[in-house]
Every structure is written in structure tokens, then in C-alpha cells.
Amino acid sequence: MAMRVTDELLNGVLLIEIDRYRDERGYFEELYHADELRGLGIHTPFVQDNHSRSTAGVVRGLHYQHTEPQGKLLTVLQGAIQLVELDLRAGSATFGRHVSVMLSDERPQLVWIPPGFANGFCCVSDVADVLYKCTSYYNASGEGSIDPLDPDLGITWDTSAPILSTKDRTASSWTSYTERPTF
């Protein structure tokens, strides 16, 4: 088997190790294999691939899509990130809790993020390329964002000077989200 779950990070968020085959030319790895993923309990089609590049200190997120919610299968192609997932599912035992995990191109891993989580990450290397497959198409009218620096979340980002987009700097507070949860 080329893929195996090594940890359930938070109520459905799975850390998946993949095999990497090295030789004198470099390495080869399968980042997506539908049958292997089904064997791990991930029975969903993916319809869109996204690739982002960030520089050191950039914090992206916390983003979610409430209309046509997205599940994501994420990996780091280059560099290293601190990945943060926040459970937005009001009926979940882990509602409002987050998980933080370090991912890098040095270790071949995927993270499965089911619908109902706000996704964010911090680039902790000079540059990081992140690839994620999505279970539904991007829907601008159905997206939301929570302030990744909101102290009520208790997230300790691995940067002393976070760089955020205007959208992320002006995102909703956690308190505002909890007044009208969308999941």
C-alpha cells in the first residue's frame, strides 16, 4: 500500500503518509490514487486543484466555503508550512478547536480535511508551494473567512511578523462566526 493514515489530527482531519521512491535521479511519489484513498475511507471525487506559493511569514486563512463546502487533500510540494485546521461544525464534539501540524517537502505526507473546517497555513520556509485538491468548485458567494490572528482562537502562529492579505486582516472574528455558524 502506498498510502496509510498515520494520525487523526482532529475529528476527521487525517494525516496520510505516502511512499516516496528514491534513486540517483531523485524521487517519485503518487500524490493521488483514488482506490488507495477509498481504502482509507475518503470516498469523494475531486473536481479542482489549487496551487499557492507563499513567502516566509505569510499567513493564509482561515478560509472556508459554507455553500458547496469543500473537502481538501493537501500537500506541500516545496518548502514548509504550519497547517492549521479549525472545526466549524456546530454539532461536532471538537467545534471551535483547532489543530496545528508542520508539513514540508522533506516528508511525503497528505492531509485530508473534510468539509466543515476553516483552513489556514503559515509559510515557515523562504518559499512554500502548497497543492490541494478540492471536492467542490470555488464559490466566491459562498466563502467565508475568520481572522487567523483572533486571540479567542488561541492559535500560536510560527512567525513573529505575520503577513496577511487585506481580506484576511478584515475577516470575521471568532465571536461573530459563533453567533451564526454556517455548518
Among the options 64, 98, 132, 177, which is catalytic?
A: 132
- Report yes or no on 147 lying in a domain: yes
- Report yes or no on 32 lying in a domain: no
Choose among 19, 15, 20, 17: nearest CA to 4: 17
132 part of the active site: yes
What global pTM score does this model have? Answer: 0.95
Distance of alpha carbon 27 from its chain centroid, rounded? 24
Tens-of-pLDDT digits for all 183 residues of the chain?
689 999 999 999 999 999 999 999 999 999 999 999 999 999 999 999 999 999 999 999 999 999 999 999 999 999 999 999 999 999 999 999 999 999 999 999 999 999 999 999 999 999 999 999 999 999 999 999 999 999 999 999 999 999 999 999 999 999 999 998 888
Among the options 63, 64, 98, 177, which is catalytic?
A: 63
- Report yes or no on 131 lying in a domain: yes
- Report yes or no on 16 lying in a domain: no
C-alpha cell at 124: 515557515
Instruction: Report the CATH number that the domain containing residue 53 is assigned in CATH.
Output: 2.60.120.10
- Report yes or no on 24 lying in a domain: no
- Report yes or no on 105 lying in a domain: yes
Which residue range is the domain that position 152 belongs to?
44-179
* Count: domains in the chain: 1
DSSP calls for 58-69: BEEEEEEESSS-
Count helices and strands in the chain by DSSP H and E runs: 3, 13
- Report yes or no on 112 lying in a domain: yes
- Report yes or no on 151 lying in a domain: yes
63 part of the active site: yes
